[in-house]
Homo-oligomer: A and B are copies of this chain.
């Protein structure tokens, strides 16, 4: 049978990173390609305790249908938490619980984009979100990421030339994959431009709590007096991705149709997962847990950068120092074939992600690749980076 696929999905291809991750699951391979939290990062003992308590005291609450907007106590907890921690959320805003922050991207695309409409993103940007946008037959336009975030002149050009631009997608903190944090000035400028051109902003902030040095920068949502910022939060990097809990803070009216779409997608998010998150935030010392996480990842991030400085940089590969997040972006000299370099690394059992996977058009030339330090053990990280250095020496620094 010749299946009658819709125009939306006709050109969709499986996520390139997942194919790479398949080879990375071989136990002999150094998995510098994933974005998984470190196994030590999960609050296992707390979750064990909470789960036993839920199923003892409120099993029906965990097993019965819930409402699409989310478990009310968690919604209330998060509203207060976000207000006191990030100073975001107004009376015009609402907060809903979603099945992982990825669902926010899907709901936003579905609610605000017609087929062929433009979504502006960073170049490079998170491939998972880009694929979600693609699945609505969206036209993606990337704006160059500089050391302090998107190039604002380029952004304005794109806005000026694309009247059907509806959304700007940004990861302002420790961006995936570049590791870059957008400066306060650029956040303000981005907000102004979005307002001027009547475009909504999706502020995706999965890594905001994972800062290892430097100072926090205010969220774009914190300037949002016009109801144009959809703030997306996630428990995937700070509690667990397997429980699938994220949240969305946005203007009530903007959100109204998103809630109906959420209901159509999965009725509501897993109750057990939502109750776990609420208990962690209310009856446990969540800041202490975050401190523990930051200590764990600071050590791994520093180890990674030290190893890069020792073995890789002297052989001609440069990278941006990071202040947080889970990813480091490495740049090859322009005369080196990046795809060939990554392929050779795979043959030597080191998996990294070719940078073109993060572009709006992955057939474009790219000289960078992404490495991750949360998934590999310290030993795998060391072996992997030494191997990258060796290959660089053979190919670049002959």
Apart from A4-B112, A7-B114, A8-B111, what 4 extra A-B contacts exist at CB < 8 Å?
A9-B260, A14-B259, A34-B65, A52-B52
Report B-chain residues with C-beta under 8 Å of the C-beta of A100: 266-267
CA distance A68 to B61 in the complex (A): 27
A91 to chain B, nearest CB (A): 15
Given contacts A110-B9, A226-B1, whether A64 and B37 have CB atoms under 8 Å apart is yes
What are 19 A-B pairs with beta-carbon distances under 8 A?
A: A1-B198, A3-B253, A6-B110, A9-B111, A9-B260, A47-B63, A48-B55, A51-B51, A99-B244, A99-B266, A103-B266, A115-B115, A128-B263, A135-B264, A243-B271, A244-B267, A244-B268, A270-B272, A272-B273
Write out, one digit per residue, whether chain A residues 328-370 have a CB within 8 A of any chain B CB (1) or not (0).
0000000000000000000000000000000000000000000
- B112 and A6 contacting across the interface, CB-CB below 8 Å: yes
CA distance A257 to B266 in the complex (A): 18
A39 at interface (Cβ–Cβ under 8 A)?
Answer: yes
- A271 and B242 contacting across the interface, CB-CB below 8 Å: yes
Write out, one digit per residue, whether chain A residues 5-38 have a CB within 8 A of any chain B CB (1) or not (0).
1111100111100100000000000000010110
Q: Which of A66, A259, A261 has the most CB of B within 10 A?
A: A261
Write out, one digit per residue, whether chain A residues 256-294 have a CB within 8 A of any chain B CB (1) or not (0).
010111011111111111000000000000000000000
A241 at interface (Cβ–Cβ under 8 A)?
Answer: yes
> What are the 6 tightest A-B residue pairs by CB atom distance, in nearest-first order?
A132-B264, A242-B271, A63-B240, A99-B266, A270-B270, A9-B257
- B272 and A242 contacting across the interface, CB-CB below 8 Å: yes
- B263 and A265 contacting across the interface, CB-CB below 8 Å: no
A172 to chain B, nearest CB (A): 21
A228 at interface (Cβ–Cβ under 8 A)?
Answer: yes
- B48 and A56 contacting across the interface, CB-CB below 8 Å: yes
CA distance A236 to B65 in the complex (A): 9
Copies per complex?
A: 2
- A42 and B55 contacting across the interface, CB-CB below 8 Å: no
CA distance A166 to B39 in the complex (A): 45
A113 at interface (Cβ–Cβ under 8 A)?
Answer: yes
A60 at interface (Cβ–Cβ under 8 A)?
Answer: yes
Report B-chain residues with C-beta under 8 Å of the C-beta of A259: 14
Given contacts A5-B112, A8-B110, A63-B44, whether A244 and B257 have CB atoms under 8 Å apart is no
Report B-chain residues with C-beta under 8 Å of the C-beta of A263: 15, 18, 128, 131
A204 at interface (Cβ–Cβ under 8 A)?
Answer: no
- A240 and B64 contacting across the interface, CB-CB below 8 Å: yes
- A244 and B260 contacting across the interface, CB-CB below 8 Å: no
Given contacts A4-B112, A55-B47, A99-B99, whether A266 and B254 have CB atoms under 8 Å apart is no
CA distance A22 to B209 in the complex (A): 37
Report B-chain residues with C-beta under 8 Å of the C-beta of A200: 3-4
For chain A residues 44-62, which have a beta carbon within 8 Å of chain B? Answer: 44, 47-48, 51-52, 55-56, 59-62
A106 at interface (Cβ–Cβ under 8 A)?
Answer: yes
